Amino acid sequence: MEPNSDPADPHPDACFDADWLALRAAADSAARAPRLEALATGWLHGRRQDDAHAPLRLVDLGCGSGANPRHLAPRLPGPQRWTLLDHDPGLLAHTCSRCGGLVDADGTPLRIDTRCQDLDTLEADTLAGADLVCASALLDLMPARWLAHLADACAQTGCALLITLSVDGSWRFRPRGHAPHAEDDDTFVRAAFNAHQHRDKGLGDALGPDAAPALAELLAARGFRVEIERSPWRLDLAAPPQAALARALVDGWRDAATAQSPHAAERIAAWHERRRAQCAGTGTGVLEVGHLDLFATPPATGPGSIPR
């Protein structure tokens, strides 16, 4: 399971270290939409009926530290063969060490292959033979043309998609009204951050919070049946691990909002100080951060019916 290839250095906004991925792992797992996972299970059971002995092929795009196979593999039927793609060879090596002992829902060990690849080169050949294409916390980094390539490649391959934890641009602190104008400042910072999310992350202007609905439209236009559900983080600010994630988020929102609106740096800094204090892990309240999960199956006839 050694990563191969050596892609060009990616854009810094598309790089995430293992510590950040570990910090968010529990919140990600708790937020995923179980109904869509159940639909994916049913889809894979149907594919397995074509050849009960052939492994189910799953491709994870932008796999990071392997959150998708670690969460999904024990919940999905087998046998499973995963292909994990990422542009970061260090994360791929980390993934190998963390996923080595995984088994599927039937208790069969996984076969895992890794590929160090810039996702800009994604084509139908990359997904050849896939039954299910997965990605987590990826879409919002991508431009419209990449989503169109993904939709085309999945239509040609005849695979389903399970795309999870795409940001939808919403977040809120509950209960509201901790300080005068708190909600006004939240709205200002959120708008600046969401505008920053549309900046180029290395492949062109990113769709940010518009990405999941855009992919749903592209897939529907190609005959896919598409389901979308909300999958929000609900971070308990009195729980130290969840409060630590909330503090990291508030720090990131400050940095992005300041870069987007430098004229408002003082207002953003005051907002940051107030909200970070609320995330100290000793108070009360919840930070809710919106995400969307998507599951799509190809049409029964036409390009989407190409057999495995």
Quick check: is 249 in a domain?
A: no
Mean predicted lDDT score pLDDT of the chain: 86
The answer as to whether 66 is a domain residue is yes
The number of domains in the chain is: 1
pLDDT tens string 263-306: 999 999 999 999 999 888 776 799 999 999 999 999 975 333 43
> How high is the pLDDT of residue 109?
92
9 Cβ partners below 8 Å, 6+ apart?
none
pLDDT at 264: 96
Q: What percent of the chain lies above the pLDDT cut of 90? A: 64
The DSSP 8-state label assigned to residue 10 in this structure reads P
In a domain, 194, yes or no: no
Residue 195 lies in a domain: no
Residue 183 has a pLDDT of 82
**Token digits of residue 223:** 């005959």
Mean pLDDT of all residues in 150-166: 95
The answer to whether position 20 is within a domain reads yes
Task: For residue 192, tell me if it sits in a domain.
Answer: no
d(CA 180, CA 160): 48
Mean pLDDT along residues 101-113: 91
This prediction has a pTM of 0.87
Query: What pLDDT score was predicted for residue 123?
Result: 78
| Dihedral of the alpha carbons of 277, 29, 141, 296, in degrees to the nearest 10 | -150
Contact call for residues 97 and 18 (beta carbons, < 8 A) = no
pLDDT greater than 60 at residue 199: yes
Q: What are phi and psi of 249, to 5 degrees?
A: -65, -45
Tokens standing for 236?
């308990």
Decide if 240 is inside a domain. Answer: no
What pLDDT does 114 receive?
Answer: 87
Identify the weakest region by mean pLDDT among 13-17, 96-100, 252-256, 294-298.
13-17
Q: Which domain holds residue 92?
A: 12-171+204-233+290-305
pLDDT tens string 200-213: 776 778 999 999 99
pLDDT at residue 13, as a whole number = 47
State pLDDT tens for residues 222-268. Answer: 999 999 999 999 999 999 999 999 999 999 999 999 999 999 999 99
Give the model's pLDDT for residue 4: 39
pLDDT by residue (tens digit) across 61-87? 998 878 899 999 999 999 999 999 988
Q: What is the pLDDT of residue 111?
A: 92
pLDDT-derived band at 94 (thresholds 50, 70, 90) equals confident
Q: Within a domain: residue 39? A: yes
What is the C-alpha separation between 222 and 245, in angstroms, rounded? 38
CATH number (domain holding residue 151): 3.40.50.150
Q: Highest-confidence range of 43-57, 191-205, 284-298, by mean pLDDT?
A: 284-298
Query: What Rg, from alpha-carbon coordinates, does the chain have?
Result: 20
Contact call for residues 293 and 229 (beta carbons, < 8 A) = yes
> Which residues have CB under 8 Å from 160's CB, separation 6+?
40, 43, 131, 132, 133, 154, 295, 296, 297, 298
| Coil/strand/helix, residue 169 | strand
pLDDT of amino acid 271? 95
Specify the pLDDT at position 134.
Answer: 96
